[in-house]
Amino acid sequence: MSEKDVQFWDKAAQKYAASPIGDEAGFERSLARTRALIAPGAQVLELGCGTGTAALRLSDVAANYLATDFSAHMITLAQEKLESARQNGLNGQLSFRQATVDTLARDSARYDAVLGFNYLHLAGDLSAALSHIRTLLVPGGLFISKTPCVGDLNPLIRLAIPLMRLVGKAPHVTTFATASLEEAIRMAGFEILENERHGSRKSDTRPFIAARAT
């Protein structure tokens, strides 16, 4: 992850936190399916947690839930939300930490489930990110992803993203289609268990993929 991307997300964090969820119904379906897949008492890691919206909703299913992001400002806002939620009765072992997938992979901790919502297209080298995720999982652990497949978007949109990045209006985005994402996940040592579409709109380029580490 480049310093330029870190600066972009630090700067965008406040606006990101205040933005409404684009597809509330689709988000709820993804949360419900994730909750159903995570075994009670699991050790859970979330990558690219942003300001903690999903983590705050899911953490009660886990024995321990560590939510991470490479943006320090995102984590600061997530911590503020966590403190407020605890004052309002939130239970569960949720913690936030600034980290990247490669630094986490060098730690000794291993997880029953790794989650990445709107993450893989922003993680840089896709193969490297998936390799690190495989390392972070116990044998048979689950990787659950829902991320935009930019390769499935209109070509004009794909062309616009690099131009926006040049003027500081977008971060680096890795372009892949759903089929190539599935293949990359398999090549990293996973068995894909399901590939669903949870979006409410006619066109949904964010497949919800659950995969088991083999």
How many residues are recorded in the chain? 214
The position carrying tokens 């969820």 is 21
Task: Please give the model's pTM, rounded to 2 decimal places.
Answer: 0.92
Which structural domains are found in the chain, ordered by start? 3-213 (3.40.50.150)
Q: Which of 7-16, 76-85, 99-108, 152-161 has the lowest mean pLDDT?
A: 152-161
Res 17: pLDDT: 87
Nearest of 137, 152, 140, 138 to residue 182 by alpha carbon: 152
Indicate the pLDDT class of residue 92, thresholds 50, 70 and 90. confident
pLDDT at 1 over 70: no
| Angstrom distance (rounded) from CA 43 to CA 110 | 8
| Angstrom distance (rounded) from CA 145 to CA 133 | 11
